[in-house]
Every structure is written in C-alpha cells, then in structure tokens.
C-alpha cells in the first residue's frame, strides 16, 4: 500500500495542473486525510488577477498565513496520526511571491515568511504535475472558477516556468515528476492505476513519468 511507505504525500504543480483533484483522489482511495488549499477564502484573490501590482502583497500574505496554519498541524503528527495527502508545500510559497512582488515587498514578505513558517515535516513523497501552458489555460477556463476569470496566459506561463526552476533544484524529498498533458487521474481509472504503479516502482529520489499519446 502506498501509505505503508509514504505517510505524508504532497501533490504540487501550477494552477490548472490538477494537483487538488489528484490529492482528493489519492486521499479517497487510501482513506486518509486530505490537506487542501482554500483559495476561495482569500478575499483579495479576485482583485489580484485584475490588478496584480496593487493586490499582490495582501494576496500573498493571506495565503502564507493560511498555509502556515494548515501546515502547523503536520508538525504535531506522529506514527499514530492519519496519513495525509496535501495539495501544497509551504516551501514553494516564495515562488509565487517572487513572481508578483516588487523588490521591497519581497524583502518584507521574506521577513514575514521566516517568522511565521512552522516547523512542518518534509513530505515523504512529492508528486509534481507538469502541463503545457496551453493545457493550463484550457483547464483553468474549463473549470470556470469565478476568482480565476482574470488569470492571463502570460501569468500561467511564468508560473509554470517558476515551478520548473523550483523543482529543478528541489531535493527535500523523493520527487516524481509527472507530465499530466495526456493523463486524467480523476475520470481515467487506468491513468490513476498507472500512477500508483509508477509510485510503487520508485527506486531513486527523482524519477519521471511521461505517457505519450
């Protein structure tokens, strides 16, 4: 079983990659806890996408405090706690800040981040979902969340590039990099089973999963 080996799994990726859907599917399948972001609770988010320079800092700080509260519970977990699947890593939070904040705002954010970051454990496994910018745009448009209507294709492209840079250097946990362009883990039972097989077969700290058409 997946969670006999991995007690804390984080699913990551840019907006539209499918990380929340996969995290929910994994949690349901293994009957474990799901730790999910709550972007709809951020009151600044709809305005952020319409005017990024003006609303970047309050949007980012709200998410930082929210994620820190959620991740703090992981620091109290032990071997008797339920296994957990999360759709975020607090370590990647500065990635968004660097994309949107001015230099002065970023310096302030870094001070706040260092002060509030909880001592949460590192994941036992990170599943990083990649997707082409075109697919990210299409998926965001198709799901139709009101707070995402202002997202531009350029922002998604820069975000995807930021994730690539972050995980190129990441070595905090075993990492499975998944090209999700031709995979559907929610509606495709075969794709989901294939992912589980790929996770179970991991032998090195960084592996890739890419299924062609």
pTM to 2 decimal places: 0.92
171 closest CA partner among 126, 113, 209, 203 = 126
Q: Which CATH superfamily is domain 2-210 in?
A: P-loop containing nucleotide triphosphate hydrolases (3.40.50.300)
* pLDDT tens, per residue, the chain with 213 residues: 566 788 899 999 999 999 999 999 999 999 999 999 999 999 999 899 889 999 999 999 999 999 888 888 776 666 667 889 999 998 888 999 999 999 999 999 999 998 877 677 889 999 999 999 899 999 998 887 877 877 888 999 999 999 999 999 999 999 999 999 989 888 878 999 999 999 999 999 999 998 764
What's the pLDDT tens digit per position in 18-66?
Answer: 999 999 999 999 999 999 999 999 999 989 988 999 999 999 999 999 9
Determine the pLDDT at residue 119: 74
Structure tokens at 48: 């952020």
Token pair 């209507």 in the structure block, residue: 149
Q: How do the domains of the chain map onto residue ranges?
A: 2-210
Rounded to an integer, what is the distance from CA 89 to the centroid of its chain?
Answer: 6
Determine the pLDDT at residue 148: 80
Give the sheet arrangement for strand 84-86, strand by strand: 33-35, 84-86, 8-12, 125-130, 175-179, 206-210
Determine the pLDDT at residue 149: 77
Structure tokens at 11: 């699913």
Q: How many residues does the chain have?
A: 213
Determine the pLDDT at residue 57: 97
């Amino acid at each position: 079983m997946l969670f006999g080996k991995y007690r804390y799994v984080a699913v990551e990726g840019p907006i539209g990659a499918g990380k929340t859907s996969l995290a929910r599917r994994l949690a349901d399948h293994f009957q474990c806890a799901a730790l999910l972001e709550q972007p709809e609770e951020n009151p600044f988010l709809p305005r952020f996408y319409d005017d990024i320079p003006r609303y970047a800092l309050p949007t980012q700080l709200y998410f930082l405090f929210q994620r820190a509260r959620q991740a703090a519970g992981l620091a109290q977990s032990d071997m008797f706690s339920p296994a957990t699947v999360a759709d975020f890593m607090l370590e990647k939070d500065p990635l968004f800040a660097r994309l949107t904040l001015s230099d002065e705002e970023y310096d302030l954010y870094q001070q706040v981040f260092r002060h509030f970051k909880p001592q949460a454990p590192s994941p036992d496994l990170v599943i990083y979902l990649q997707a082409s910018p075109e697919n990210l745009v299409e998926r965001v448009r198709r799901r139709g969340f009101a707070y995402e209507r202002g997202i531009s294709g350029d922002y998604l492209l820069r975000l995807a590039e930021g994730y690539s840079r972050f995980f190129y250097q990441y070595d905090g946990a075993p990492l499975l990099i998944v090209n999700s362009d031709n995979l559907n883990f929610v509606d495709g039972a075969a794709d989901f089973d294939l992912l589980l097989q790929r996770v179970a077969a991991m032998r090195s700290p960084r592996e890739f999963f890419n299924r062609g058409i």
